[in-house]
Amino acid sequence: MIQAPRGTFDVLPEEAARREFVESQARDILGAAGYRRIETPTFEATVLFARGVGEATDIVQKEMYTFDDGGGRSLTLRPEGTAPVCRAYIEHGMHKLPQPVKLWYLSSFFRSEAPQKGRYRQFWQVGAEAIGSAGAATDAELIVLLNDLLAALSVKDVRLRLSSLGNPETRSAYRDELTAYLRAHEDRLSPEVRARIDLNPMRAFDATDPRTRETMRDAPKLLDRLDEEDAEHFAQVRTLLDDAGVRYELDPTLVRGLDYYTRTLFEFTSEALGAQSGVAGGGRYDRLIEQLDGPPTPASGWAAGVERMLLAAADLPVRPALVDLFVARADGDLAGARTAFELAHDARRAGLAAQLELAGRSLKGQLKHADRIGARYVAIVADAGHASLKDMESGDQRELEPTDVIPVILRGSRLS
């Protein structure tokens, strides 16, 4: 039997309805703040992610689906959306538009990770990017919008962790300081952390090994090393979040698996998720556009995992689909079949939700099916000139001409 590839899943109709709710909430919340939809290709030149996300990251080192396009060009299924959106910003000269350019997306992404609950090889994100503003208000607004989205979806037990990475220069000096600290305490670190001291020393804060964790408690923290402007920027973000009543915890050891971040960095987690507790994350990325050969352009954004939001969400108010009319067939001739077909079509053109019997059931079976799908009315077509209409709520049934079915229903639904 052929099955969906490992780490992927089908979105079946019931789940699709929950996802439509996510999409409509994202559209309403982000749309009201002036974010406009963007979609970029599913695959991009590999170099976009190598340069954008960072050569040393797990994503680029281990998780990308990279292939040759047959003509010697290396392409990669997008593992994330920020680098592609920046590529599009540069490619379409969006720096000429009024800034910031505020964009959102709902797209699928691909990472070759070990699948588990909440972690897939193809997954969906709602993302928002504000490109062309350096202001703290942009960061705070983005976080407020994300907070609103999570609340609208009733994502349970949400925590927000917040930090600032400063700029690449202070960060590099800090990195040296941290590396020296790690070297000085090498004998107390786990082999994995030791092996990564030069590649990615910040990852040491992520370690689960108890001795490593204890050692890291006294390690120098980046938040204490921010320069004056970055510290001021961060203080403003915090003030705006405080004013907005958004609760957060400062986490000076917060690290995220992407290299483009500068200044503000944040992550929403949900206790309801277990191991893969990251629901959404983002931050400022003031150097990325330049790194991709665009004009120096500050920017900020986030992405939220659709599957993780849904896993951590309470029951969503998904309404069952309405069926105004089910068109049934009494045993009859071809003319009756054509009349029934036409009636269902006309009903839909008149704005009704109408379904036609397509399975050759007996009349009794058709009425049972109509009841099962919650049809409000059933029209039973006998032939071109004869039909009856059954009100499934009252049980009343009357004979009428097929052409009268739609007007009667429209009048009826207006009355009720």
Residues near ligand HAM (CB under 6 A): 80-82, 111, 113, 118-120, 123, 125, 127, 129, 256-258, 278-283, 285, 301-305, 307-308
Shortest spacing between CB 54 and ligand HAM, in angstroms = 12
Closest to ligand HAM by CB, 21 or 377: 21
Residue nearest ligand HAM, Cβ-based? 305
Nearer to ligand HAM, 12 or 359 (CB): 12
Q: How far is the CB of 269 from ligand HAM (least distance, A)?
A: 9
Quick one: 203 or 386, whose CB is closer to ligand HAM? Answer: 203
CB of 135 to ligand HAM, least distance (A): 16
- The CA distances from residue 273 to 158, 247, 268, 313, in Å, are 10, 20, 12, 10
What is the Cα Rg of the chain in Å? 28
Strand order in the sheet with 74-77: 43-45, 74-77, 66-68
d(CA 154, CA 16): 17
How far apart CA 106 and CA 25 sit, in angstroms, is: 12
Tell me whether residue 101 or residue 328 sits nearer to ligand HAM (CB atom). 101
Burial 235-256 (b: 16+ CB within 10 A, else e): ebbbebbeeeebebeebbbbbb
| Integer Cα distance of 320 and 317 in angstroms | 10
Contact 157, 309 (CB under 8 A): no
| Shortest distance (Å) from residue 285 CB to ligand HAM | 6
Cα–Cα dist 288/294, whole Å? 9
- Min dist CB 380 to ligand HAM, Å, is 49
Smaller CB distance to ligand HAM: residue 150 or 182?
Answer: 150
**Least Cβ distance, residue 365 to ligand HAM (angstroms):** 43
Nearer to ligand HAM, 100 or 301 (CB): 301
